[in-house]
Chain A
Amino acid sequence: MVDKQPTDGVEPAAAAGMQGAVCPVPLQHEDQVVLGHGSGGKLTQKLIARYFYPPFENPYLLQGDDSAVMDWPQGGRLAFSTDSHIVSPLFFPGGDIGRLAVAGTVNDLLMVGAQPLWLTAGFLLEEGLPLSVVERVAASMRAAADESGIQIVAGDTKVIQRGKADGLFVNTSGVGIVPEGREINGRRAQVGDAVLLSGTLGDHGIAVLAARGELDFEAQVVSDVAPLTKLVEAMHAVGADLHVLRDPTRGGLATTLNEIAHQSNFGIEIDEITLPVNPAVEAACEMLGFDPLYVANEGKLVAIAPEAQAEALLNAMRSTELGKAACRIGRVTSKPAGRVLMRTGIGARRVVDVLSGELLPRIC
């Protein structure tokens, strides 16, 4: 048996060494891409850390936030983000791929405190796609852009041979300006900070899954996909010192909180009974064996701020349509560093880990 690798077990030599010694069948998934690499969980993180960080390495990339924030040579700071969107079906209760594509990038900019300004849109269209679909998606993107106060200023179009794509893929990239004095990122979480959540968990993931129709279940669930501009503006208006903002998309709240715990090197403790979940989402999760903590959201945010400002922030959040179910879900603790703990409904405690492989058939 080779020496134990203390890190994360990705080293093939370590696993190969275990093969005869402890357990029979290691499986690496290191030779090809599997769907789990797109889940937003650990496999995604490893893919990025191993294949993208080394060749691209620079300080902005390694910030690891939803957008990169760069000093602009003429002064001020620029936020820049990109996001590709694939979702089946293209239209689902509460939204469509166009709204998702605009909201995704706008929200990533908002989560570093930026004021979003301009987006680009790249379209990959499958041969045979009805142009009426293109028209609907574009109209939906325009509506979402108006809602966010941004413009789509450049674009690109490519067509893929029939059968080689799933209808329509959209990439959006966006820039925004981070106002003077605003510093919002995962490293700023402080011990004692309050952890706030803007609303219910899992609506988007379950809505898309139900709309797909493969799993014989019907749920009256509407996706929460929305640009969070008005909610975030209301929070800034309070004048609070927001330490962290993050939208819990792929991988769900559990993955997002783990990212923050990891970046800040503090612990986060949440209280299970405070977590808001729509009854229909909860029922679907119970039936399908999913945990709402890991199901995607597209119109929610987590905020971390000093305890003294938590009430004012909650009031501001609740005054907006998107934040009316906002609540306090936990706090930042000194230990265990880098981990998320949850006080369970019956009063015990457990670790909440990152999503490990593929939770759902890929949803966005």
Chain B
Amino acid sequence: MKYVTEYRDADKVGRVLDDIRATVTKPWVLMEICGGQTHAIVRHGIDQLLPSEIELVHGPGCPVCVTPLELIDKALAIASMPNVIFTSYGDMLRVPGSGQDLFSVRAQGADVRTVYSPLDAVKIAQQNPDKQVVFFAIGFETTAPANAMSVVQAKALGLTNYSILVSHVRVPPAMHAILGSPQNRVQGFLAAGHVCAVMGYWEYPPIAERYRVPIVVTGFEPLDIVLGIRDTVRLLEAGDVKVGNAYARAVTFEGNRPGQAVIDKVFASCDRKWRGVGMIPQSGWCLRPEFADFDAENRFQVAHIQPEESPLCIAGQILQGLKRPVDCPAFGTECTPEHPLGATMVSSEGACAAYYQYGRFADAVPEHAAGDPAAS
């Protein structure tokens, strides 16, 4: 796969790392927003190769992790109803609600199906006119156009048996929440490339200005990530708070305008709870009134399900970049992907799951093992 291999080329990555070493003069804390980036960093070991001055902290950009408990409980309630086909992106199946997860309700007989696109869920609704088909519409801006499009399509087809359970979240309000916190340590951001492919980065200059932090749009392959880090470090060292784009092959300033238009047609901003973090004003999207018929929360009358979140696990602090997974006493012992105790261990994009899967235990690979030759 040339397109991927090219961006995993050790020599090219090495040259950019040399650049970073030559540029950095003091410690900097950078946050990568997106869970996909966290995974790439840990999977390829990028952080091991960085100079020790640069600390990467992991952001809240894992949509599975931040989906609030009450929505998961609502999903479980709807999926357990007779005559319902509940469809979801695969990751959501593992996320525990108050007592169960979607795997468990499936094992008890519920019809829970993994789909790769909500448009597949619309097809299932067409094929099963006697069933109610529900799609769990989670995600950041990245998944919003397809989720919105499924509603537009269902409406055009006159489907009365399709609805979505919406838990959309948006990146810019989360950046405000992190940067506005008195505990904030983040000095520069790697913005999430896939989100920006949809939204562009016109929302970011005011954030960079207001909090005096550089923001660089960054992709997901090793070369993309080191380029994003290099550009951010250059801006930091120069005392510049511009917004940069290190992922120009996929992202433009304006973004995907038709995608934004369909989002705008179907969704409106609303307050949203983030699991482990709490309420962030205007940080979510909800269905507009003209599409209220497609809102699963209305259709199945689950509004009364309002579970209390237990005392916070450190997932909240991890999602805000205040702590790392290995700071948790339960990490890798009581809390593992088979027996997750918190959202960040559950999702394959969660920071704890990334640390676990790629072996960041105290007794395994040292974090700064750069230059450590293969044990040969």
The answer to whether B45 and A348 touch across the interface, beta carbons within 8 angstroms, is yes
**Interface size (A, Cβ < 8 Å)?**
62
When each residue 37-60 of chain B gets 1 if its CB lies under 8 Å from chain A and 0 otherwise, what string results? 000001111101100000000000
Q: For the complex, is A220 an interface residue (Cβ under 8 Å from B)? A: no
Interface pair A353/B359, CB less than 8 Å apart: yes
Contacts of B116 in A (CB 8 A): 215-217, 288
B156 at the interface (CB under 8 A from A): no
Q: Name B4's closest neighbour in chain A (CB-CB).
A: A286
A9 and B103: CB pair below 8 A?
no
Contact B46 A346 (CB under 8 A): yes
In the docked arrangement, what's the CA distance between A142 and B200, Å?
59
Stretch at the interface among B126-134, B185-193, B286-294, B327-335: B327-335
A181 interface contact, C-beta 8 A = no
- Taking CB atoms, residues of chain B closer than 8 Å to A341 are 359, 365, 375
Would you call A10 and B104 a contact (CB within 8 A)?
A: no
The proximity string for B residues 1-25 relative to A, scoring 1 for CB distances below 8 Å and 0 otherwise, is 1001000111001100000000000
Complex: A42 Cα to B370 Cα, angstroms? 31
A344-B45 CB under 8 A given contacts A27-B100, A36-B103, A282-B1: yes
Known: A22-B328, A336-B363, A336-B364. A46 touches B44 (CB 8 A): no
**B235 in contact (CB, < 8 A):** no
CB of B89, distance to nearest CB on chain A (Å) = 10
Inter-subunit contact A22/B365 (CB<8 Å): no
The listed residue with most A CB atoms (<10 A of its CB), out of B9, B334, B342, is: B334
Assembly CA distance A282 to B361 (angstroms): 29
Q: Known interface pairs A282-B4, A346-B222, A350-B365. Does A28 touch B339 (Cβ–Cβ under 8 Å)?
A: yes
Interchain CB contact under 8 A, A27 and B96? yes
In this complex, what residue of A is CB-closest to B358? Answer: A350
Select one of A22, A32, A215 contacting B329, CB under 8 A. Answer: A22
B97 nearest in chain A by CB position: A25
Kindly specify which of A13-21, A221-229, A242-250 makes contact with the partner chain.
A13-21
Contact B42 A42 (CB under 8 A): no
Q: Is the CB of A27 within 8 A of B101?
A: yes
Is there contact, CB below 8 Å, between B94 and A357?
yes
Shortest CB distance A28–B (Å): 6
Q: In the docked arrangement, what's the CA distance between A24 and B372, Å?
A: 39
**Cβ-neighbour of B49 out of A32, A35, A217, A348 (below 8 A):** A348
Contact pick for B335, options A23, A28, A35, A345, CB 8 Å: A23
* Minimum C-beta distance from B198 to chain A (A): 18
Is the C-beta of B369 less than 8 angstroms from some C-beta in chain A?
yes
Q: Chain A interface: which of B172-180, B264-272, B309-317?
A: B309-317
Contact A18 B330 (CB under 8 A): yes
Do A347 and B14 touch (CB < 8 A)?
yes
A283 CB–B CB distance under 8 Å: yes
In the bound complex, do residue A18 and residue B4 qualify as a contact, i.e. CB atoms below 8 Å apart? Answer: no
B214-231 interface code vs A (CB 8 A; 1 in, 0 out): 000000001000000000
Contacts of B313 in A (CB 8 A): 22-24
Q: How far apart are the CA atoms of A194 and B328 in the complex, in Å?
A: 38
Contact call B8/A349, Cβ cutoff below 8 A? no
- Quick check: B375 and A24 within 8 Å, CB to CB? no
CB-based nearest A residue for B335: A23
- Please measure, in the bound complex, the distance between the C-alpha atom of A6 and the C-alpha atom of B370, giving whole angstroms: 30
Contact: B374 with A269, CB < 8 Å? Answer: yes
Query: How far is it, in angstroms, between the C-alpha of A357 and the C-alpha of B114 when the chains are bound?
Result: 15
Is A348 a contact partner of B369 (Cβ separation < 8 A)?
Answer: yes
A24 to B337, CA, bound (A): 15
Interface hits, B267-312 → A, CB 8 Å:
309-312
Closest to A291 in B: B43
Given that A9-B336, A345-B44 are contacting pairs, would A23 and B375 also be in contact in the complex, using a CB cutoff of 8 Å? Answer: no
Contact call B43/A344, Cβ cutoff below 8 A:
yes
Interface check B356, CB cutoff 8 A: yes
Q: Per-residue CB proximity of A301-326 to B under 8 Å, as 1/0?
A: 00000000000000000000000000
Docked complex Cα distance between A264 and B340 (Å): 29
Proximity string of chain A (265-300) to chain B, C-beta cutoff 8 Å, 1 when within and 0 when not: 001010101000001001100101100000000000
Our pick among B13, B43, B336, B370 for the contact of A356 (Cβ within 8 Å) is B336
Chain B residues with CB below 8 A from A279, complex form:
1
Return the chain A residue nearest B89 by Cβ: A289
Docked-complex contact A24 and B14, CB < 8 angstroms: no
The reply to whether A32 and B107 form a contact with Cβ atoms under 8 Å apart is yes
Q: Which residues of B contact A35 (CB under 8 A)?
A: 103, 106-107
Taking the complex as formed, is B108 at the interface, i.e. its CB lies under 8 A from any CB of chain A? yes
Known: A23-B314, A24-B310, A46-B338. A335 touches B375 (CB 8 A): yes
Q: Is B30 an interface residue (CB 8 A)?
A: no
* A286:B48 contact, CB within 8 angstroms: no
> Is B79 among interface residues, defined by CB-CB distance under 8 A?
no
Question: Known contacts A25-B342, A36-B103, A361-B114: does B359 contact A350 (CB below 8 Å)?
Answer: yes
Residue of B nearest to A12 (CB): B339
Q: How far is the CA of A182 from the CA of B341 in the complex (A)?
A: 46
Residues of B within 8 A of A28 (CB): 339
CB neighbours of A42 from chain B (8 A): 338
- CB-CB under 8 A from B309, the residues of chain A are 24
Supposing A28-B339, A29-B104 touch, asked if A352 and B333 sit within 8 A by C-beta, the answer is no
Decide: A349 near B96, CB < 8 A? Known: A23-B330, A24-B309, A27-B339.
Answer: no
* B108 near A350: Cβ-Cβ < 8 Å: no
Other contacts beyond A18-B330, A23-B330: 4, CB < 8 A:
A10-B339, A22-B330, A282-B1, A341-B359
13 contacts across the A-B interface (CB closer than 8 A): A4-B334, A22-B335, A23-B315, A26-B96, A35-B106, A217-B116, A273-B10, A336-B364, A343-B374, A350-B358, A351-B358, A351-B359, A353-B356
